[in-house]
Structure 1
């Protein structure tokens, strides 16, 4: 069997059995030690999914690359030929945010930012050689309905309904007026919280609530969606916001020095970037000193330069930022043609 690992900078290393080219090294020879996939140089991989003898990776730009066995069309390339090099797979124009495969099947699945779920490969004994739009809202359903045997690509918990973990219990208590001892007034609306949890989870609240006996805190610096997302993050350790709102949350994360939240915001913004909002997101990255996000947005703008320069965001770009953008773009050869 083969093994795949992704390091912090997005590079992919592989090793193990390679009879079907599932290592993506351009050959079918086995590899006894970890080897970087040179064909993915310059591409930042975020996630990996491995089937029985094929591999999928998802990049930070929402692009999927595949390689390995393809006897059932599980690579989604439009044919049944094996691929020993990473090959891109297109799913209309929507950005992919989740990929899935399972070791016991020859099936692949993906979910887009718009919530559409696609599948390809083995489907109840038949071959689907191109990504096919399903009626599902979750990739798990693809393997439960189409795979043979019916499986799930990730571990599922089968705990009794009356048992909740600590994390699940905390999630349920967010914004619960029946148990809260503190409420935030933001844009005329209340958000209910628990002082002890806020002090445990956030250094800012640890100091600001230490000697406070107030049970209402008025907040005017941030919008209601942004501040609610921040408090919910303290209960759930996750965020769910469109990229435009995530920019506001990035501002808050910077203000409160919440580095993990800052990283989550940057991931959300990366997944939601498009030609229309690329300049706005680049400006936000510069403003909040998010260097990794700034580089990502800049690279996206360069890759889509013709369309980006025709947007209203580019026309209204801050003078200093525009000057720096043109200078940096010139250095990387963006204007050679």
Structure 2
């Protein structure tokens, strides 16, 4: 069954990790989740439309599977499940299905997983969100109640801080909750009223409570709660916490030893504003001490990087297309945060030949035209665009010659940015989320190369499960090269429907 992605990934980021896998298998992968561990080896869950696969020695050993670097191992107990969330720590991985079931696999005997995925909620409880700490798990039930399991040595699952619970879920006593988050040994929840509760380890003031006392029951974090400061999201790391508000302000507290809070102080004992504005999304690593933010057009990073300690947010000028790509730029590893879908990359892979040309794209110091989309701007050079595209050659001729601003109303900022970048570096990232816009753009602009890339993408993902999605697109734009495959799938679908009709 289809997986539901929450972020797009360039599969090229994983080309070294997957170089031994049968290349005919990779196009069937629709989602990738990299699992965090304390070792140099990388561990993955790979999802196709129908199955989930383990890849890596450690995750395979947890599931009684034999690791083969040329072949991901199918996890049969998860077949035909629609997975909507994956999270992990160094000693367990948890998954959430669309029907509210939670499964967990671990190498820690305390969890009693018996070398497979253990179903956690065996009753009628249905959950809508999960979050993993270092050794504990939070679960948000559909009705807004929060439950917890795992190690409780610091009170991170609430209750008696000497009693852990690996077999049954503990009710935290919090209800009306819309979001949960975990640091390594501390926990957060946000209620529908915008109230923030925290509990667990607090040795670096990471709970936002202005003292260093651990908490074994949820405590209200005092923070202004008017319309301008309504909480939007919380992420937590090893010993720090970040709070994103609806007005785009980002605040933090806790350890800042590696600069993971983006300010100068080593320890931040109270909630402090981080010097970055208009933030839309945030991420941080539980184990690698770095933080990331996205403001709608650019990604920012700070903390422990491969270039040293960044004590304040720095904008990543190479225009990463996802948090995963941003993480790969500043760390030696690339990893996902949650369940993530792949992007299929089409075009030239000779980046050296495009380096000088790429300097002409979205360069603040060298442009003579701006494309304006939803109040966002993409800068470019007319002369180069005219040489790269017949459409732009016509656009910037005649009465358009002196026009230095072009409003784009028919396409999203992300899609149009990807297309203009393709004209400068020869590559385009195609996903199920942008394929419809890209096909329409290729047709409207008469871009044969882009249209071929789109057809190749559709051919690679077209099957009985995606037939309903791509059939209208193939017909509308008369993609004759795909008619044979479409007819074959249509015939099989018709025969299958006939058999079901006769059976009933």
TM-score bracket, shorter-length normalisation: 0.3 to 0.5
TM-score, with length taken from structure 2:
0.32
* Structure showing the higher strand proportion among its residues: 2
Higher relative contact order (CA 8 A, sep 6+): 2
TM-score, with length taken from structure 1:
0.46
* Structure showing the higher helix proportion among its residues: 1
